[in-house]
Chains A and B, each alone.
Chain A
């Protein structure tokens, strides 16, 4: 008797008990449930919520792997262990030393994120007596990718509990949440423990511990140095595109994010409208700022000059705007639902992200704030799009009957 049969048999035993939701979660994660509908319409599709979520996780795996290597690479680069990687497949990057240092740092983040998050989900499912929902599978993967590599694990656990309970469960669980849970977790960390979430000491592992020592490690990101009018440091365009730069764990490699975006778009899970309009929004804000510099309205003494002077398309390669656009803004629950709404929603995310990035040096990366803000406005946008549509059709009806 295979695992599948014994699981089906065990299901009978758990039927109706308090632990049934917990058991069902494991059961349906491994196999298709042995339930069939008996009446009504029969639509046979394989991509239920769980498969959809798994697809997103697949799209995230390249970013995670790259993040592991990059965490080690950034450390080794500063200690002089490796030299600068010049091409994507360089052995200076893909080697065991980088991997082991990175894995030692990143895997605990993944384990804590999933462990704590799923525990909260299980507890809620058992108390409320509903099935465990799949929503956390993606959130749990996103969380380690959007935090600095050195974040203490207990802080991450506190934030995950907060994000899942306040961001999701109080609204009724997966599918009912207003805010993206992963970003709620990041926002909580950002406001609760700002010294661990921003500044020039947290983005490369070991930087915090070596502050003030002669061999101190710098943990500055490109955005950070731009905000202080110090330019791009010595990171080339290629470094930024391939992702050999300091930053949150999974957001550095633009190349792999584009690969992930293609997976999401081709499998029709992520909305290309949102991704595209977010980028358009970011570019237009960048163009406006470039225009301001061009007109000579601000000069080099301004504290905004460094970021305003960035050529508009380069904004897409620094910071996490691309990661946010592909994996965060497209979250189907918190985004706008109507097609026209998606364009507006995405455009404003990009627009506001770059605005926060430039105007608020205290928040060098505004992408997560912009997405959370637009999450709140998404239902309003949808409402007016639908209203507008109704009005247009009502008018058409009047013309016809007249």
Chain B
């Protein structure tokens, strides 16, 4: 990492693993359950959040010394809302089908706890460059989980990836379907997303015992 100092690199890498917003901090679960039935919306959602959180963190960080602390939540909300509307409009203009599929969940990025959490916990107390890295890192950590969950749910639930029939055709019975394989309808339902996220948390904690809380 010649580009980034060790401390800065940590800002990006930590949220990907041991400080992941979804699996460790358990934030942003709602959208992770709602839009991960397929891979494509998961990726679009991840990219949107990277954009919103990266830029938002920079904006808040630049304004951090002039925001009166009493109204900071309102200011933060306005910043997120503006960015989310930009994302929403871009999607509506260039990927209408997708934006219909994601429907209300793009709008709901505003209420994603990860974003407000990073504004409060990091951007208000750090410079723009570090805030940018922190924002991108956390959004990436969120995105990685979304993509992993989306991958398994689409593969096992619909037998496709990005809409391509990778396991064969369930109707004409080719590929795996020829030997009696069937799609797992449970995977498409939201409860299964919760279970997949749970399994990821389980695997992560059994690999790194330091993450297990004492009770």
Contacts and interface: CB of A to CB of B under 8 A. Distances in A.
Interface stretch (B8-16, B58-66, B78-86, B180-188): B180-188
6 contacts: A152-B180, A191-B185, A192-B184, A192-B185, A192-B186, A192-B187
Contacts of A166: 195, 198
Interface of A: 152, 154-155, 158, 166, 170, 188, 191-196
Contact of A193 (B184, B189, B195, B198): B184
Contacts, number: 23
Instruction: Tell me whether chain A's interface is mostly helix, strand or loop, or mixed.
Output: helix
B96 interface: no
B180 A193 contact: no
Given A154-B180, A166-B195, A191 B186 contact: yes
Nearest to A153: B180
Given A166-B195, A170-B202, A191 B180 contact: no
Given A154-B181, A158-B184, A194-B185, 5 more contacts: A166-B195, A188-B186, A192-B184, A192-B185, A192-B187
Interface residues of B, number: 11
B202 A191 contact: no
A166 B187 CA distance: 14
Interface of B: 180-182, 184-187, 189, 195, 198, 202
Nearest to B185: A192
A188 B195 CA distance: 12
Contacts of B181: 154
Contact of B182 (A155, A170, A188, A191): A155
B158 to A, nearest CB: 13
Contacts of B182: 155, 193, 195-196
A28 B173 CA distance: 48
Nearest to A190: B186
Contact of B189 (A154, A191, A196): A191
A182 B5 CA distance: 54
Contacts of B187: 192
A202 B198 CA distance: 33
Contacts of A154: 180-181
Contacts of B189: 191
Contacts of A191: 185-186, 189
